[in-house]
Amino acid sequence: MVALEKQVALRTQEFNHIILNLEQSEKQLKTHLNYQKDLNHSITHDISTPLHYLTTIIRNFFDRATNKEAIEAGEMYLLYEGAKRISDHTEKLMSLMKERLQADQFRSQTVNLHKLVSDAAAAFLHAAVARNNQFVNSIDPRVNININAKLLKIVLHNLVDNAIKNTERGGISFQVQQLKNQLSIEISDTGKGKPDFKLRELKAFLADQTHKNLHMTGLGFKMIMDILSMINGQLTILSEEGNGTTVRILLPYSVMVR
């Protein structure tokens, strides 16, 4: 009788484990489906719209090509801006999708934070120089963290890109602070800052854990928040119009390697 009870208990435990795995799989599937839905919306909002605008400009260009004096330099600049925006969003999409499709490779590793930030900034050095901006990395070279470096680097890429676009003849600095229960990676710029209404929209977006209101922020911040959720990170923004912006990536203090 005792042996039978043990066997029943063992089978019950195995059954409960199977149910738990099924529930986790269902949750992951639901998350994936929601992500795909948001991604489709993002593609429409951030890629299809500028693509339509770009094709209209190109069409006007060719329609007026017979009259060289009618082709203005401003139209060429708009053509470039549209193409650049599509290229940027496509690159970000590809990077994120590649990481998500390789979910089994989402492993943490010990990385030097100063070097990681320097490498992320180096990818935008030419863009920074073109706008007469300088990078200042004040992160202590002795700080090491245990994290998925690929995912954090994508976040840094997006934030550095935003800082450069909003700053001209200024600086973009990086520093780290050890808070009570969190590690704060700060990216600050001396750019134009954000008007009050835009800052309110961003904060409302960050406070909404579903992060569905993409019309407020576009694809970039959606990607950032989606990635941060994978590494238990958070984001805060401080900004004042005319006085620059500071973005803080908040990570659990446990990522610190002592």
User: How confident is the model over 152-172, as pLDDT tens digits?
Assistant: 988 999 899 899 999 999 999
Task: Kindly list the distances between the CA atom of residue 63 and the CA atoms of 60, 72, 133, 140, in Å, as whole numbers in the listed order.
Answer: 5, 13, 39, 57
17-54 tens-digit pLDDT: 677 666 665 665 565 556 555 555 555 556 655 666 66
Fold of 2-101: Helix Hairpins (1.10.287)
According to the 3-state scheme, what is the secondary structure of the chain? CHHHHHHHHHHHHHHHHHHHHHHHHHHHHHHHHHHHHHHHHHHHHHHHHHHHHHHHHHHHHHHCCCCHHHCCHHHHHHHHHHHHHHHHHHHHHHHHHHHHHCHHHCCCEEEEHHHHHHHHHHCCHHHHHHCCCEEEECCCCCCEEEECHHHHHHHHHHHHHHHHHCCCCCEEEEEEEECCCEEEEEEEECCCCCCHHHHHHHHHHHHCCCCCCHHHHCHHHHHHHHHHHHCCCEEEEEECCCCCEEEEEEEEHHHECC
Q: Which of 229, 224, 221, 231 is nearest to 255 (CA)?
A: 231
Domain map of the chain by residue range? 2-101, 108-255
The sign of the CA dihedral 162, 40, 93, 137 is positive
In degrees, rounded to 5, the angle at the alpha carbon of residue 229 between the alpha carbons of residues 141 and 140 is 10
Tokens of 95: 């990077």
**Identical fold at 2-101 and 108-255?**
no
The mean pLDDT value for 122-128 works out to 88
Judge if pTM exceeds 0.75.
no
pLDDT of residue 216: 47
pLDDT tens for each residue of 49-99: 566 666 667 666 666 655 555 555 566 666 666 666 776 666 666 566 655
Closest-CA residue to 230 (of 116, 176, 149): 149
Asked if residue 227 lies in contact with residue 156, where contact means CB atoms within 8 angstroms, the answer is no
Is 108-255 CATH 1.10.760.10?
A: no
Q: pLDDT category, 104, cuts 50, 70, 90?
A: very low
Q: Span 184-190, mean pLDDT? A: 97
Distance from C-alpha of 133 to C-alpha of 98, rounded to nearest angstrom: 31
